[in-house]
Amino acid sequence: MNTTTSQRSRLPLLLAALSALAACLATARPAAAQHLTIRFFNVGQGDAALVTSPEGKTMLVDAGPERDEVDRYLHRLHVDTLDLMVASHNHADHITGIPAVLQSGTTVRFYLDNGVPTTTQAYARVLRAVQRSRVTYLNPTARTIHLGSVVVRVIPPMPGVETQNNTSVGLLVTYGAFTAFFAGDAESLERDYWLRTDHLSHVTLLKVAHHGSSNGTDARWLAALTPCVAVISVGAHNRYGHPSAKTLRLLGAARVMTLRTDRDGTVEVEANRSGQVTIHTGEAARTARPGCRVAQN
């Protein structure tokens, strides 16, 4: 058989195959980034953090002390759905921004708080917004929630207590070898209770309780959790003197890489399944590797 003739006869088939491949590539979606992202928004003297799983599932933990600021953050990030919204406790510096998010058109599937009411106007506005929305309310019982491949374990508030700080909801977020703990504003009374009842151990990242106040961290807590990285959500030149010198000394003595929103701005943490962490702030990115060794990127 003539080779040239044979090649020519196969040319239409080859062109058809290439055309089909091009169509397939044109419609294929890029693979999802295989990392968990946690953004600690710079909201001043308050807390607000967005957790995004590799599959795009989202959890908002607190919403800061301003009415619209967190809603604007979510809008800039093109977040139109929150799979879970958590109010760690019902103090105004954690919940004031919740109504704006619920009323903005953002779809919020589930809402969880500490279940301890208070008499403030900020809480009354949140309660009205939750009641008017279609969000499903979750009680702060021990439960496990899946955000795609990310697992959120709810650590219930300490029972028999009515003060807001010591009824904070704890959240243990796990993605492969990476773990993060959100402690709300828990003081020593509740943190000791968690250590007794929930057997908390090493975490990669710790959201420091109560904006780095002296009652938000102690040596026993750090010895149990041995975090590699700590994030303090705190306002610049705040009237409370947060973070306290004592807390900063404890974190320094434990060789914990510490980020602060008052100095670093919004802190973005990316983690892969192996536990490697990359941190982006207004400064150069930094990398925290398994074993807590930290290097400049």
Q: What is the pLDDT of residue 66?
A: 97
Report how far residue 136's alpha carbon sits from residue 133's, in angstroms, rounded to the nearest whole number.
9
What pLDDT, on the 0 to 100 scale, is given for residue 297?
36
CA proximity to 172, closest of 284, 51, 28: 51
Q: What pLDDT, on a 0 to 100 scale, did the predictor assign at position 273?
A: 95
Q: Could you tell me the two tokens for 116?
A: 């301890």
Quote the CA–CA distance of 188 and 143 in Å, as a whole number. Answer: 23
> Can you tell me the distance from the alpha carbon of 98 to that of 72, in angstroms, rounded to the nearest whole number?
12
pLDDT given for residue 256 in this prediction: 97
Of 274 and 3, more confident: 274
pLDDT in tens, 134-158: 899 999 999 999 999 999 999 999 9
pLDDT tens figures, 16-34: 443 443 443 333 333 346 9
Residue 92 vs residues 12, 104, 120, 124, 125: alpha-carbon distances, Å: 69, 19, 8, 11, 10
| pLDDT value of position 20 | 42
Burial of 263 (0-12, 13-18, 19+ CB in 10 A): middle
Beta partners for 230?
A: 206, 258
Indicate if the pLDDT at residue 244 is higher than 80. Answer: yes
> What does the pLDDT average to over 271-275?
95
Q: Which of the 8 DSSP states describes residue 166?
A: G
What average pLDDT does this structure show over 94-114? 97
**Mean pLDDT, to the nearest integer, of 249-274?**
97
Read off the pTM. Answer: 0.86
273-289 average pLDDT score = 77
> Residue 288: what pLDDT?
59
Checking if the pLDDT of 294 tops 50, the result is: no
Cα end-to-end span (Å), the chain: 62
The percent helix, strand, coil of the chain (3-state, each to 5) is 30, 25, 45
Say which residue, 88 or 296, is predicted with more confidence. 88
Phi, psi dihedrals of residue 61, rounded to the nearest 5°: -110, 105
- Pairing mode of beta strands 229-232, 257-260: parallel
Q: Which two tokens stand for residue 25?
A: 């590539």
Residue 28: CB atoms within 10 A of its CB come to 8
Say what the pLDDT of residue 134 is. 87
Give pLDDT, residue 271.
97
What's the mean pLDDT when you consider all of the chain?
A: 88
pLDDT band at 282 (very low <50, low <70, confident <90, very high): confident
In the predicted model, what is the mean pLDDT of residues 166-194? Answer: 98
Q: Determine the Cα–Cα distance for residues 124 and 120; give it in Å rounded to an integer.
A: 6
84 close to 147: Cβ distance less than 8 angstroms? yes
Distance CA 110, CA 104 (A): 16
Listed range (24-38, 103-117, 202-216) with the worst mean pLDDT = 24-38
List strands edge to edge, sheet with 205-207: 143-147, 150-155, 170-175, 178-182, 205-207, 229-232, 257-260
Rounded-to-integer distance, Cα 225 and Cα 182, Å = 12
**pLDDT score, position 5:** 44
Q: How many angstroms separate the Cα of 207 from the Cα of each of 14, 135, 259? A: 57, 26, 10
Determine what percent of the chain is predicted with pLDDT higher than 70. Answer: 84
Per the CB < 8 A criterion, the answer to whether 266 and 41 are in contact is yes
Domains and CATH numbers, the chain: 31-296 (3.60.15.10)
In sequence order, the 6+-apart residues with CB closer than 8 A to the CB of 286 are: 257, 278, 279, 294, 295, 296, 297
